[in-house]
Structure 1
Amino acid sequence: MKNSRGVCALIVTIGAMVSIPQLAYAGSDDGAASAPDSAQSPARSPEQIHVQPGVPRSSQPALSGKALDAHVLTQLKQRFDAADTDHVGRISIDQARSAGWGYLVNHFSQIDKAGRGTVSFDEIANYMRGMGARM
């Protein structure tokens, strides 16, 4: 008898879990119950990134390997050049802070091993490679 009550409770629980989503669709504007349109809202796993409707998909293939490494290095160089407002090939901690480059600000003393108060792009890239970045 005890096992049959457990089985009944399990069946009721499963039935409720199956019925609740159906009840949500029963309250639609036209009063008719309807299931979601799978073409409009495909099932997604939690690991997928949600892209807002209307955002165009990239026509470029995803980067990987050496192409990705080169892209990261280019992006890093562009960020360095934007922070190097005096165009001398070195930036100070204040320039990094003004550029919103928190990572560089937080690690500035480790990158500036010579204690000059400025760092070059190569010093930043070498530090990041030493920390495991592939560039």
Structure 2
Amino acid sequence: MALRFVLFACAILVATPGSAGAFSISFDWSGLKLCNTGRPNRVGSPAFRVTGLPPGTKSVVFKLVDLDVPRYNHGGGTVTMTRSGTVPPGAFRYQSPCPPGGRHTYEWRATAKAGPNGRGATLGTTSARRRYP
């Protein structure tokens, strides 16, 4: 009897939408103009690939954080998500990475929201980081 219950529970987990993979993002900064003056440019967002969106996600809030200077507000934006999981370049504007005379580690943070325009309950969070330049 216990074995049947375990097998049934496993079957439910396998069939649950969104269980195929964890919520994650990746991004492409190709084409971003080099900046190392410490004075960021206002630029269009990079292309993002979003996978494993939590069920019920209507929008995703993106925020760029310089892990070497986390107090600096690079901004971000909110996008309405589609089934494709792609966010085209330029979907929102933000302050570009621009470390003064060196390399910094930057992290895009993404928060899946239940409502449109970044509102509603938080359904999941994830991040992706990269050194720049």
More strand by share: 2
Pick the TM interval, shorter chain.
Answer: under 0.3
Larger RCO, structures 1/2 (Cα 8 Å, 6+ apart) = 2
TM-score when normalising by structure 1: 0.21
More helix by share: 1
Higher CA-based Rg = 1
